Structure 1
Amino acid sequence: MSRSPGGRRPSDPLKAAEAAFRKATTKPAEGPPKAPVIPGVKETVTLRIDQEVLEYFQQDGPGWQDRINDALRKAAGK
């Protein structure tokens, strides 16, 4: 059997075509399904906002996170 330079065998065109066909027609694996959204459940996040904005919402005391949430809801049209 003759070998190409570098010691590699020439590829089999039929196998190469079959591999390309499998790659093009195989459905990619899907990730896990998204969890359903439950109304009223809040998620903990890290949010970087300007110090002045934070001070504005904190000036009326406790409940500032709810006030930020309400302002974001209004901005989102919800």
Structure 2
Amino acid sequence: MTNIKNISLDEIRAMKDSGQLKDTPEDAPTKDMPDGFWDDAKVVKRAKKKSVHLRIDPDVLEFFQADGPGHLTRMNDVLRSYMIAKKEKSHHQHSGD
């Protein structure tokens, strides 16, 4: 059983106009940022991703798919974390830290 409903953009606009939808809930957490917080912010763009064919165990794929859309991004994030950890470990071993 699911509570997912397909509605049109016009229906969404009508719901927003009638107050059924709000941009920000009243109970959403807020945080005041100090003046100049974004002054030194820089846009960081990742390199273009490379498409590959990858064979993955069925249970691994099902695990990531279970969280819904974005499973390939999550898999990439896990691989990136592993790569960074391995590089840091290798760097510490070679630098004597």
Which TM-score applies when normalising by structure 2? 0.39
Which TM-score applies when normalising by structure 1? 0.48
Bigger radius of gyration, 1 or 2?
A: 1
